[in-house]
Structure 1
Amino acid sequence: MRMNLNRGNYKKYMSNNPLVSMVISKFLNEIKTTLETLNVNNALDVGCGEGFVTQYLNLKNSTGIDISNNALIFARKINKNTNFCRSSIYKLPFKDESFDLIMALEVLEHLEDPDSALCEIKRISRKYCLLSVPNEPYFRIMNLFRGKNIIRLGNDKEHIQGWTSKKFLKMLERHFEIIILKRPFPWTLVLCKKREY
């Protein structure tokens, strides 16, 4: 089977553009430093794509999930010690409170119903969630600055949602307790804790 590695995520992480490489490197570093103080036994990367973040973090007992078979084939090649499976974010194949940490990085902006996805993420989370989305309008401005998606005013064709940091936090607060907010340009990165009722 021939892999289609023409997805935006693959192109971004494999870019030779020094500006893109610098921004991605800073983003990955912010993710890593955010997680350094947490005590977690297992982690799930929801919407893991080709597994670049999984590879960078190299967490013990990690699992990756994505809807794309092609992305998962590549993820398995670069992450030999990680479990991967194909699943929809709306119906994750795990019991309640299965993971200490759930990550959904650069995922929610691609979804028709991000609120339902957050409910499912909350269901399988035992404690922490790390979530990121493009910080609009800065993400689009950066795309325009580098001549990308000009016809769509900088918006990626795969992005059907968009939030400022403030609006993103407001959505998350319905489900989680916010612990840390970071804005590694051009993203919003939020570490949350499952709310105890």
Structure 2
Amino acid sequence: MDQNQSRNYKKYNSKNPLMGIVISNFMNNLKEASATLKNINSVIDIGCGEGFVINCLDYPKITGVDISRNALRIAKEKNPECEFCSGSIYEISFKENSFDLVIATEVLEHLERPDLALREIRRITKNYCILSVPNEPYFRAMNFFRGKNLARLGNDPEHVQNWSSGKFVSLIDTYFDVLEVRRPFPWTMVLCKK
């Protein structure tokens, strides 16, 4: 495997059949949550990485934002019809109410200031958001039992935030109206409205 590939890229391309089932379940939950929404004409995936989430969605206009230019290059190759730009979740270069749906999956746990990111997400959405994070302690346990990050008791070295499902929903509830909570093991996924 190429040394330049991110941990995210390796996860979504894992040869481990169990990991494949877990990722497929996550993507199916994401598709099902978004399928319930009406009049979605503009979508942004913040922290889009290599475009795996964008690749699984079926919307006419999707924009991807990430801080990694290498990830954006791969995302563009996989999704040539989509728009991509480099940027930070703390300062998204779009006007207020620019998108019908904002997606940020597996992003908030990497941030020192998730509160600032959630304010920025609220600013750019017209209506809906789908947000997901690892559901702790299950995410760590899964890592530990598959022999990953043993010295850190399964915690990913890039994760600076750790939420149980209930704590994450409570956090989101301070910024949005929570419409639906899904728990595709080992994540928490929240569909919410501005």
TM-score, with structure 1 as normaliser: 0.95
Residue 59 of structure 1: CA displacement? 2.0
Q: Secondary structure at the match of 1:109?
A: helix
> What does residue 20 of structure 1 align with?
19
Asked whether 1:128 is paired with 2:128, we answer yes
Deviations 1:88-122 (A, max 9, x none): 00000000000000000000000010000000000
Mapped to 2, the partners of 1:113 and 1:183 lie a distance apart of 24
| Number of equivalent positions | 192
Mapped to 2, the partners of 1:61 and 1:103 lie a distance apart of 13
Mapped to 1, the partners of 2:92 and 2:165 lie a distance apart of 26
Q: Secondary structure at the match of 1:45?
A: strand
Residue 58 of structure 1: CA displacement? 3.4
Query: Contact 1:131/1:190 (CA < 8 Å) preserved in 2?
Result: yes
Query: Contact 1:109/1:160 (CA < 8 Å) preserved in 2?
Result: yes
> What does residue 49 of structure 2 align with?
49
Mapped to 1, the partners of 2:150 and 2:63 lie a distance apart of 36
How many percent of aligned residue pairs carry the same amino acid?
56
Mapped to 1, the partners of 2:14 and 2:3 lie a distance apart of 18
> What does residue 68 of structure 1 align with?
68
Runs of 4+ off more than 3 Å: none
Asked whether 1:35 is paired with 2:34, we answer yes
Q: Could you tell me which amino acid in structure 2 is paired with residue 104 of structure 1?
A: A
Q: Could you tell me which amino acid in structure 1 is paired with residue 134 of structure 2?
A: P
Give ranges in structure 2 of 5+ residues lacking alignment: none
TM-score, with structure 2 as normaliser: 0.97
